[in-house]
Amino acid sequence: MVELSREDFEHLVRSALDELPIELTAMLDNVVVLVEDTPPPGEEDLLGLYDGVALTERDSTYSLQLPDRILIFQQPLQAISPDLDELARQVRITVIHELAHHFGIDDDRLEEHGYG
């Protein structure tokens, strides 16, 4: 298990976001990525969570909304990672997985592409 400070873990999340193609990041609309220590009670296995309205579900009534949230959970990601390289890889996978939900991609399709 790898243990990082919040600052170092947030750096891994920022790095994962920085690695995304500019064409993809340009399409991010009204979304914020946050780091939390742990998932909600009863959801201890979650590595990340998308909370919002996917772009594919927004219509003309979508306005003046709080930003969608992508939550990345530090403790479970650290717990499954034996070293820093694996932690960085798991963070990238989780960030991509949750961003995909923002774009309306479901879990089945993500699983097909190795991001399940």
For residue 114, the model assigns a pLDDT of 56
Question: Distance between CA 81 and CA 92 in Å, rounded?
Answer: 13
Specify the fold of 6-112.
Zincin-like (3.30.2010)
Cα dihedral 78/8/14/56 (nearest 10) = 30
Q: Which residue has the higher pLDDT, 102 or 100?
A: 100
Question: Distance between CA 28 and CA 94 in Å, rounded?
Answer: 16
Whole-Å CA distances, 24 to 7, 18, 34, 104 = 25, 11, 18, 13
Closest CA to 95 of 28, 33, 36: 33
pTM of the predicted model as reported, rounded to 2 decimal places: 0.85
Question: Distance between CA 75 and CA 36 in Å, rounded?
Answer: 8
Per-residue pLDDT tens over the stretch 58-82: 667 667 777 889 999 999 999 999 9
